Amino acid sequence: MRNVLVTGGAGFIGSNFVRYVLEQDPLVRLTSLDALTYAGSLDNLKDLPDPDRHSFVHGDIRDLETVTDVLRDHRIDTVVHLAAESHVDRSILNPAPFVQTNILGSFNLLEAARLAWGREGVIPSGSCRFLHVSTDEVFGSLGADDPAFSETTPYAPNSPYAASKAASDHLARAYVRTYGLPAIITNCSNNYGPYQLPEKLIPFMFLNAVEGKPLPIYGDGQQVRDWLHVQDHCDGLWRALISGRPGDTYNFGGGVQASNLEMVQRICSHLDQLLPTSPSCPHASLIAFVADRPGHDRRYAMDSTKARTELGWGPAHTLEEGLRETIEWYLQNAAWIQALRSQPSYEDWLRENYEMRESGQ
């Protein structure tokens, strides 16, 4: 592994993974491929460690020619596929981009890799890896007493987003079985940490609380999630690349389950301590319950035993430590937030995101 392509490299998990690998292995060169939609920004790739080992390509995985050219021109021997439409609410309002990016885009990457590493022999396939990064949402919803999702849990996606990711997982498996593509699939729980856009729960609630806006919580707020710090996830992905078996699947979870309401209350508690003079203290007074969204999964939980035993992986962050570090990062990186807000479409995007939560859509 010498030339690594990171799709979605200017996004939340992608940019964190780029930083992690540049610090982890001085011999690896990375290429980020990103369409720079609202979810990706070159600001996420500023101040990289050893930036000379990183290059950026502005392109869309839905374009097979672009993907093929990147693999050939950069002599890519490892693909880390993180590019995706990932917001469940948006998939409910408009599923088409999720089908196009998550399914067609994944197909393009798999097909380009198959040709580059196989029939065309650009790179010997024995030295290649394709890491397909997925989500716990493909497994559906758990009851309060159900065991956590394992690698053998049947797929039962409930949202257009989850269904599109499930379809891409099946494509990756098919390419392993049919063509011998050296692919590894990983499924992770809810990520949080630096550079996450305020469409996701933690940064969304943080920004609203800091600005004294209502904190809209779907339904009764008792939807339970398994929370995984993004740096721990990146460590797991790296270990899967180094030690994982092609054709195998690995689950990564933070090992800590908390309800959405509990997470918002924790955010408010941290802000009360960090911003004691805020006129919104106590910030929990901003919490407002709104109609639940359609098809809202009740509980996710991941069994990471296989990753722990076979990859030697385990999360280094406790939820309390990781959440406080994340909130402090947002407070200390006002320039990053301001750059996000300076984008022409930001206010419309943020208002749409808020209205989706407020209406329960």
The dihedral formed by the CA atoms of 266, 85, 114 and 251, expressed in degrees to the nearest 10 = 20
Catalytically annotated residue among 20, 161, 192, 218? 161
- Choice among 137, 169, 235, 303 that is catalytic: 137
Q: In this structure, which amino acid lies at residue 306?
A: K
**Sign of the alpha-carbon torsion through 13, 15, 18, 24:** negative
Structure tokens at 69: 């050219």
Question: With contact defined as beta carbons under 8 Å apart, do 337 and 344 qualify?
Answer: no
The DSSP letter of residue 277 is T
Question: Residue 174: how many CB atoms within 10 A of its CB?
Answer: 13
DSSP letter at 136 equals: G
Cα-flanking dihedrals φ and ψ of residue 280, to 5°? -90, 0
Nearest CA to 75 out of 147, 4, 10, 129 is that of: 4
- Asked about 161 being catalytic, the answer comes back as yes
Query: Computed over its alpha carbons, how large is the radius of gyration of the chain?
Result: 20
Structure tokens at 23: 């610090």
Tokens representing 32 are 């980020």
- Asked whether the bond before 282 is cis by omega within 30 degrees of 0, the reply is yes
DSSP E strand stretches across the chain: 3-7, 29-34, 54-58, 78-81, 129-135, 183-188, 190-192, 215-218, 224-229, 249-252, 257-259, 287-290
Residues 43, 77, 85, 136: which is the catalytic one?
A: 136
199 is catalytic: no
Secondary structure of residue 155 in the 3-state scheme: coil
CA 122 to chain centre: 30
Active site residue 137: yes
Q: Active-site residues: which are they?
A: 136-137, 161
